[in-house]
Amino acid sequence: MKFTSQHQAVRRNPALSQHHSRGKTYFRAVIIRKRDGTPVSLNVCGRLHQAGLKWLESAGFSLRCSYNGYTTLTFIVSLELEATLPLPDLVKNTILVYGFVSHLESGPTTFGLVKTDNNTMQLLVGNNGDSDLPRLASEVVPFLSNFRRQAPIPSWVLETIRILCENGSPSFDNITISTQSYVRYHMVPAGALPSNCIAIQLNPIHSHQGFTKIVLNSITLNPLLNTVDPRSNNLPRDFAARYFKNDVVTAVFEKIEGFRKSVTLDFCLPLLTDGSPTTTGILQLRQTRTQTRP
């Protein structure tokens, strides 16, 4: 039986969705039945099912945000057109003309302008948030102009892209991947989530050690689950509060914060210089790896 039909079965049983007590909300039970009414057990640990999120949605919390993650804009660049591009001498003979990777505070969108084979150039635009990617050539430069960073995007970059959009026979090549999404638990009013619903961390987009967090939080969650009376079919109403007040959780989050601040954990090479972000860090990393490869 598909989970969708199971979820619909839950929604058709309003007595089992949630319970209110003294002004607080918590999950009382989740009962799944087949179409003939036979009760069945449910064991969903995540992946595409995301049962907890669906239960929250059935209780009135709409938290999922969908977005399209990537698009490529290809330009035909003749020698005559290339001669009109205001490219600095430094990048005229390079493959990567310009790359932009946003910092956490600057938004979730990145882009790069590269030279490719057969007299073409490509503008690669990636997005891991809820902003809409450009779908028309006329939308590209205004879209990129809105990027926020400490220093503005160089004017020659935007001018080059404008010329390519107007004269380079642009064509969009959208990778056929499914629409992506993330859950905005941080948009739920304080105290509104069911008290036994655990939402670990808030931002899946910029969490650099996502798998590490999963492992550490699972290790933390397991002993707390073991404290629940095995004869009970329900989690305690204060289960989430106990989880986040746990000293082990505090220690785990302190470790995670240390991982997040590390500049060498992911790549084993420093990507910061004198405490300031370097725009050439990734390129230095790639060059170093190439030179040291046996």
Q: Between 285 and 151, where is the model more confident?
A: 151
In a domain, 212, yes or no: no
In a domain, 185, yes or no: no
In a domain, 250, yes or no: no
In a domain, 183, yes or no: no
Looking at residues 272-294, what average pLDDT do you find? 39
pTM recorded for the entire structure: 0.47
Give the pLDDT confidence score for residue 77 in this predicted structure: 94
Q: Between 70 and 95, where is the model more confident?
A: 95
Q: Above 70 in pLDDT, residue 112?
A: yes
Helix axes 155-167, 137-145, angle to 10 degrees: 170
- Final residue belonging to a domain, choices 63, 84, 100: 63
168 vs 80, 192, 256, CA distance in Å?
11, 52, 46
Residue 134 main-chain phi, psi, to 5 deg: -65, 140
pLDDT band for 83, please (50, 70, 90 cuts): very high
Residues 224, 243 contacting (CB under 8 angstroms): yes
Structural domain boundaries enclosing 1: 1-63
3 and 45 part of one domain: yes
- Final residue belonging to a domain, choices 12, 29, 63: 63
- Final residue belonging to a domain, choices 9, 29, 63: 63
Give the pLDDT confidence score for residue 65 in this predicted structure: 65
In a domain, 235, yes or no: no
95 and 126 part of one domain: yes
Give the pLDDT confidence score for residue 230 in this predicted structure: 77
Which helix or strand (DSSP H or E) is residue 3 part of?
helix 3-11
Q: Above 90 in pLDDT, residue 161?
A: yes
Looking at residues 259-278, what average pLDDT do you find? 44
Q: Above 80 in pLDDT, residue 275?
A: no
Residue 103 exposure: Cα atoms within 13 Å on the Cβ side: 11
Residues 284, 270 contacting (CB under 8 angstroms): no
- Amino acid at residue number 121: M
- Token pair belonging to 222: 């397991």
Q: Above 50 in pLDDT, residue 8?
A: no
Give the pLDDT confidence score for residue 157 in this predicted structure: 94
75 and 119 part of one domain: yes
Q: Above 70 in pLDDT, residue 132?
A: yes
90 and 4 part of one domain: no
In a domain, 93, yes or no: yes
In a domain, 132, yes or no: yes
pLDDT band for 258, please (50, 70, 90 cuts): low
Q: What is the pLDDT of residues 182-220, one digit of tens each?
A: 666 667 776 666 666 666 544 444 444 455 666 666 777
Which helix or strand (DSSP H or E) is residue 209 part of?
none
> What gap in Å lies between CA 181 and CA 288, rounded to an integer?
35
58 and 134 part of one domain: no
53 and 90 part of one domain: no
293 vs 46, 269, 283, 288, 290, CA distance in Å?
38, 15, 15, 8, 5
pLDDT band for 140, please (50, 70, 90 cuts): very high
58 and 142 part of one domain: no
Give the pLDDT confidence score for residue 49 in this predicted structure: 47
Q: Considering its fold, how many domains does the chain have in total?
A: 2
17 and 35 part of one domain: yes
Residue 195 main-chain phi, psi, to 5 deg: -65, -20
Q: For the ranges 30-34, 82-86, 123-127, 260-264, which has the lowest average pLDDT?
A: 260-264
- Burial pattern 266-285, b for ≥16 Cβ within 10 A else e, equals eeeeeeeeeeeeeeebeeeb
Residues in the chain: 294
Q: Between 11 and 78, where is the model more confident?
A: 78
162 and 143 part of one domain: yes
Q: Above 60 in pLDDT, residue 15?
A: no
Mean pLDDT estimate for the chain: 67
90 vs 84, 93, 121, 267, CA distance in Å?
16, 7, 17, 27
Give the pLDDT confidence score for residue 141 in this predicted structure: 92
In a domain, 278, yes or no: no
Q: Of 38-47, 63-72, 112-121, give the range with the top mean pLDDT.
A: 112-121
